[in-house]
Structure 1
């Protein structure tokens, strides 16, 4: 996929999901669905550049992708059943029931998150096919090499074919077994919108955050007793509430400590806080998203940075470490440690993570800030240089350059 094709997919992400969903249901073959959709979008790059975007781009893409799928079936297979599918692709035969989910995109996410696939494979596959994220974007989201992402997607497709896993629309009974993987996908899609990792994209991608919130609301309605669905929705709302304050008019990322809290969306904060209180009242041990939402609730409850209850935040991170002992959680916990015990203690904790997070730009951002606070300007500058090298978000790069250049030489 070239940059132009990726840009068209980003601009028409909902159409991408609908096309892939429609072709997957019709042909029962993920490769055919994805490749036909990709061909349709590649044609769109050329045709729309010359003729302009059609009045109904979704219908244009669906029709073109259907034709490409039929062509591929006719080329690659002589089996009677495939020919029959190709001949009757535009017939009026009723399709299979849509099941418990009315939304095309959410239905396809649940379909791709089949429990027979390894968790890492189903997440990568779904981010690619449904989220429309590129392989580099997925690699950055998962903190793995691009080659590893490609292998996961290839293995997932191979297992689907070898095990003959059906692309059946999930019933209501299927949803609880698949919801964890679906929430992971939506969390990663939201994160890509919250801080876009591609240098050629907008620094904040509202299309992704808004869609992730919309789909999580649907899951919340489908599974009202699922605490993690409520927690993820709360987390997204409390994070999205700060969006208007996160980038300056000059295009530079604004750190939480410097944001105008009067610009935060009070309605989203109130809704997020309500969900957090609801989960606390349930008296059930919280999961990862519920704890992250509670941390964000503490941040958004403070009138300014000095009012932040860092003791409560650290206690929540201690709880989160037991649920999710990942190096990224440990890194974020160290930021709270710095506020309570000082930057030297926090830096020691951060440095212990280097083997696992050396390629993660936020690791170097955190080190740079702690070193700056300790007066170690030369070391801080080196850490900022590495963070700038790894960061892809244009607004964040501008912020990091300014912070580095403010250091005393």
Structure 2
């Protein structure tokens, strides 16, 4: 059997699913694995799948792809654009889009598995393919680990993974050391005193408290972090009130924090807590704010020796100059939990999905930021070819490099 990878990608793109709801996606993966005759197990960490290709003695290499989409309304105008909708954790009906390329990740991993399984005379060892749910919630890897994926399947000697990104198609981006930032997602609940909109003096207005807090939080990075260091404090969501003439009793902020290491994390978290509590006190709040950590992701750190080895393998396979150092990404990933829990090296790289001519024109016009949609944008639309092929090839090259 040969998988029609373009048709597979288009199907997955049309039918995205939110985190821990990837039942249809998992079903598509399972169907292809069964047709390929590859051993697999479903329902790991709720909707995850692990597949195993055993081929004699040798190292165990784990390849990982994430499967979930995002609550984004697609605006790409593509013929195969998503019109799907889903229910978010709060019970809201939301549009859903593969705005981060996880559809390509799944497509590339299935393509790589087919290649590896059909050429077992060229390698020996064991390949474990992990199709992971809920990366966007930062919870899928831990859910699979809690469900015993490291114990029920051959334990890895190395964990490998990749992510499509706005680089020219054909390009590989990888660096030794910290490749992606650590992050925390916080929910801050500011507690005021509700009342009638015509009598603000009898209330403690959490909307004003929230506005002051948002503005003050922006000074943490601009005024309290060394300009030579990396940190991000983003307020991605703010909710308060239900009607124009009612001052609500509380407001809720959702924050995304990013940093390169644990020391920076401790510093930024302490500053955020100080600002939140101080603004509540300045507003005369009767009760202190509540700060909940929704999830924590460690930095994605590439093993120095394995990365150097893989960079040479990519150069040999794709040509000198194909691999670039993209710098540290302030986005975060949960793939490293697999390597951390197993105590083995990790290499996680990026591969380009932008038409090279389009990218070159935007670069020449100094319009990369405005003309090239990034991950999580409603306009994010990787060019199909050679993006699919390079994603498959990269996984195959990487797996063979670390297999016997």
Same fold (TM over 0.5): no
Q: Could you tell me the TM-score, scaled by structure 2's length?
A: 0.28
Per residue, is there more helix in 1 or in 2?
1
Tell me: higher relative CO, structure 1 or 2? Use CA pairs within 8 A at least 6 residues apart. Answer: 2
Per residue, is there more strand in 1 or in 2?
2
